[in-house]
Structure 1
Amino acid sequence: MFPDDEKSKTSKDSLVAVVRWLKSRSPREKTILSVATGILALFILWIVIEDHDFLFVLAETCHFVGIALLVYKLFINKTCVGISLRSQELTFLFLAARLYCSFMMEYDIHTVLDALTLVATGWVMYTMMFQLKHTYQVELDTLMTAYVAGPAVLLAIIIHPSTTHIWIHKVLWASCVYIEAVSVLPQLRLMQKNKVVERFTGHYVFCLGLSRFFSCAHWILQIMDGNSLLMHIWGYGPWPLLVLLSEVVQTFILADFCYYYVKSYAQGSGVVRLPENVV
């Protein structure tokens, strides 16, 4: 065995040992460890990254990489098994709303990344609905788009930014935040029904998990920095709290999947198997 192979095997064995140790912990211990790990990761990001706006760019980049992996899967494998069209529809909705708000309210690098991700998402939807329709698992993708987006839009009408922009823009902005928070639910539900997660789909959802973590870290660190511009943009009332809550909800929704994703690769299988209680 070559030295590099020995190092690789040692690293892999160590990771497996850590996963087994975590698996043996009680639910309470796992929760404490998760919170402690999150706080430690935030502290490291706070120290290492000087411009915390970069975290939001990183989050959007991770999302784009994830959708690019789906595009690759559809192009190479010619199958959309394991992919939720409902989640793609929700993603398209919140990206379209955010892109429109970006043009109306602000324009920067986030607009470019959102535009690229929106185009890629549109291509995935078109391919699933027409070119690869025969492989789409419609019987498993049962969490309808309207059931997820409807309550989010209703909440946006009630609670939205208290800025000087026109009312419809503020509602659209809030809608994209709330829809994004729950857009992955149909995808997680479909994977739960499948039990076994296809490789590229697993990569995609893991990228979403990373994206949510970086986005959540961005908002938290901005608040810790006492960003007065951010406070001005957010306004007052319950809206700032709901923005942060939406980010935290997204992160926790995907946290379980990311755990099983890392566990599967630590054990060498590369196959993500989800238990009943993931969603």
Structure 2
Amino acid sequence: MNIFRFAGDMTHLISVLVLLLKIYATKSCSGISLKTQELYAMVFLARYLDLFTDFVSLYNTVMKIVFVASSLAIVWCMRRHPVVRRSYDKELDTFRHYFLVASCFGVALLVNEKFTLVEIFWAFSIYLEAVAILPQLVLLQRSGNVDNLTGQYVFFLGAYRALYILNWIYRYFTEDHFDRWISCVSGLVQTCLYADFFYYYFISWKNNAKLQLPA
């Protein structure tokens, strides 16, 4: 594992911890898209079908369990927790995310590296992860003001994917065999979706001001 992959994993983990901190410390999920969290839960469940059949390393297994468990816990809190669910911005979180699910699954059936159940669900998870942030970005744009923890969550989530791009570049030049082109293309699309958010995040950081997104 190279430093870019490890840094990406840790940044991804930090994004999850920031979101859990926001929910459990403030007892609020205001500004968080349930649609995006449900999409990420589907991403991890589809990607890690091999969790109990293929053992790569203890690190790999632990990270898979953490991401699956945390994503399901967040969805449960936003839907079922008696206090947290009251703060959910249902009126703003109206993105029709099931269209993303259907579209990504259709593409996975047509464009995959091997036509097997595991590989199709893996490709589906990659395509879905690339666009899973869309409901969250739309919600933030509609609400305008973004609280610090929500802004940090989205920032670290985007930074994780940017670091993974560096990981792929590094692997391309150092490994003899590297054929996960689906991940690379989807990762570039995903990173581009964060570009507007990154711009306003750095502007607010530079000016020491509260993050605001244009409606």
**TM-based fold match above 0.5:** yes
What is the rounded CA distance, in whole Å, between the counterparts of 1:143 and 1:101 in structure 2? 31
Would you say 1:192 and 2:141 are equivalent positions? yes
Gaps of 5+ in 1: 1-50, 235-239
- State the alpha-carbon separation in 1 of the partners of residues 203 and 127 from structure 2: 30
Q: Do 2:78 and 2:85's aligned partners in 1 also have CA atoms closer than 8 Å?
A: yes
CA distance in 2, matches of 1:206, 1:106: 31
Structure 2 counterpart of 1:246, from 163, 167, 186: 186
Residues 1:101 and 2:50 are matched in the alignment: yes
Residue 155 (structure 1) aligned to one of 85, 90, 107: 107
Partner of 1:261: 201
CA distance in 2, matches of 1:154, 1:119: 27
Q: Please give the per-residue CA displacement for 1:109-146, whole angstroms capped at 9, x wherever unaligned.
A: 33321321221221111111011221111111111331
Query: Aligned residue for 1:83?
Result: 32
Match of 2:212 in 1: 273
Q: Residue deviations 1:2-22, cap 9 Å, x none?
A: xxxxxxxxxxxxxxxxxxxxx
Q: Which amino acid aligns with 1:200?
A: L
The superposition leaves residues 7-48 of structure 1 with CA deviations (integer Å, 9 ceiling, x where unpaired) of: xxxxxxxxxxxxxxxxxxxxxxxxxxxxxxxxxxxxxxxxxx
Superposed CA RMSD in Å reads: 1.7
Indicate the percent of aligned positions where both proteins have the same amino acid.
28
The change in CA–CA distance for 1:183 and 1:106 in structure 2 (over 3 A counts) is farther
Question: Retained in 1: the 8 A contact 2:93–2:135?
Answer: yes
Residues 157-201 of structure 1: per-residue CA shift (max 9 Å, x gap) = 101113xxx710110110111011111111000000001111111
1:210 aligns with 2:178: no
Opposite residue 158 of structure 1, the aligned amino acid is: L
Please name the residue that 1:38 is paired with.
none
Larger radius of gyration: 1
Helix, strand or coil for the counterpart of 1:83? coil
Corresponding residue pairs, total? 212
Instruction: Name structure 2 gaps, 5 residues minimum.
Output: none
Is the alpha carbon distance of 1:106 and 1:56 closer, same or farther for their aligned partners in structure 2, counting shifts above 3 Å? farther
Q: Which structure's relative contact order is higher, taking Cα pairs within 8 Å and 6+ residues apart?
A: 2
